[in-house]
Chain A
Amino acid sequence: MSVAMHQAASVETPRRHREMTDVHFIATRIMIYLLILTAVSVIGFPLFWMLISSFKSGSELYTTPPTFLPNEWTLQNYRDLFVQTNFPIYFVNSLIVAGGATLLSLVVGGLGAYSLSRFDFFGVGSFARIALLCYMLPEVLIVLPLYVYVIKLGLADTLISLVIANTAFTLPLTLWFMRSYFNAIPLGLEESAMVDGCTRLQAMWKVTVPLAIPGIVSVGVFSFNHAWNEFLFALVFTSSEGKKVLPLGLATWIGQDNIYSWGMLLAGAVLITLPVMVFYLFVQRKLVVGLAEGGTKGE
Chain B
Amino acid sequence: MAEARTVQPGDRTLAYVTLMPSAAILILLAGVPTITVFAIAMQDVGLGQTSGPFVGLENYVWALTSPDFYGALLNTFVWVFGSVTIEMCLGLGIALLLHRNFLGRGVARAILLAPYLVPTIVAVLVWRYMFHDIVGIVNYLLIELGVIAKPLLWLSTTKWAMVSVIIVGVWKFFPFVVLAILGILQSIPQEQYEAARIDGASPFQQFWRITLPYVLPVFILTALLRTIWTFHKFEIIYLLTGGGPLDATTTLPILVYFKGFVDFELGRAAAIAVLTFLILTALIAAYFLLMRRAEARQ
Contact = CB atoms under 8 A, between A and B. Distances in A.
Contact of A228 (B119, B123, B144, B229): B119
Interface of A is mostly: helix
Nearest to A42: B171
Given A49-B130, A228-B119, A287 B179 contact: yes
Interface string B269-288: 11001101100100010011
Contact of A292 (B4, B29, B218, B287): B218
A251 B121 contact: yes
A43 B25 contact: no
B256 interface: yes
Contacts of B30: 134, 137, 142, 168, 172
B81 to A, nearest CB: 18
Interface stretch (B15-23, B62-70, B157-165, B205-213): B15-23
A288 B126 CA distance: 27
Given A228-B119, A272-B121, A292-B182, A145 B37 contact: yes
B234 A140 contact: yes
B34 interface: yes
Given A39-B97, A138-B276, A272-B119, A293 B294 contact: no
B26 interface: yes
A129 B119 contact: no
Interface in A135-183: 136-149, 151-152, 164-165, 167-168, 171-172, 175, 183
B269 to A, nearest CB: 6
Contact of A280 (B14, B21, B25, B117): B117
Nearest to B11: A119
A231 B235 contact: yes
A294 B94 CA distance: 21
A47, A64, A119, A168: most-surrounded residue (chain B CB, <10 A): A119
Contacts of B122: 50, 269, 272-273
Interface residues of A, number: 100
Interface-central residue, A133, A287, A297, by most chain B CB under 10 Å: A297
Interface residues of B, number: 100
A43 B171 contact: yes
B260 A64 contact: no
A218 interface: no
Contacts of A97: none
A38 to B, nearest CB: 10
Interface stretch (A70-78, A104-112, A209-217): A104-112
Nearest to B178: A288
A168 B22 contact: no
B10 interface: yes
A164 B26 CA distance: 11
Contacts of A284: 110
A191 B6 contact: yes
A167 to B, nearest CB: 6
B239 interface: yes
B79 interface: no
Main DSSP-derived SS at the B contact region? helix
A273 B122 CA distance: 7
B129 A53 contact: yes
Contacts of B56: none
Interface stretch (A1-9, A29-37, A79-87): A29-37
B74 interface: no
Contacts of A236: 257, 261
Closest 10 A/B residue pairs (Cβ): A292-B183, A112-B22, A138-B232, A119-B15, A168-B29, A145-B36, A145-B33, A231-B235, A247-B121, A115-B18
Interface of A: 29, 32-33, 35-36, 39-40, 43-44, 46-47, 49-50, 53, 61-66, 108-109, 111-116, 118-121, 127, 129-131, 133-134, 136-149, 151-152, 164-165, 167-168, 171-172, 175, 183, 187, 191, 200-201, 225, 228-229, 231-232, 235-236, 246-247, 250-251, 254, 262, 265-266, 268-269, 272-273, 276-277, 280, 284, 287-289, 291-293, 295-299
Interface of B: 1-2, 4-8, 10-12, 14-16, 18-19, 21-23, 25-26, 29-30, 32-34, 36-37, 40, 50-51, 94, 97, 100, 102, 108, 110-115, 117-130, 134-135, 137, 140, 144, 171, 176, 179-180, 182-184, 186, 218, 221-222, 225, 228-229, 231-232, 234-235, 238-239, 252-253, 256-257, 260-261, 266, 269-270, 273-274, 276-277, 280, 284, 287-288, 291, 294-295
11 contacts: A43-B112, A44-B111, A44-B112, A112-B18, A136-B284, A137-B34, A145-B34, A229-B119, A269-B121, A284-B110, A296-B221
Given A187-B6, A231-B235, 16 more contacts: A32-B97, A33-B102, A35-B97, A40-B112, A43-B171, A44-B114, A49-B130, A49-B137, A115-B15, A119-B11, A134-B26, A142-B33, A144-B33, A144-B270, A295-B180, A296-B222
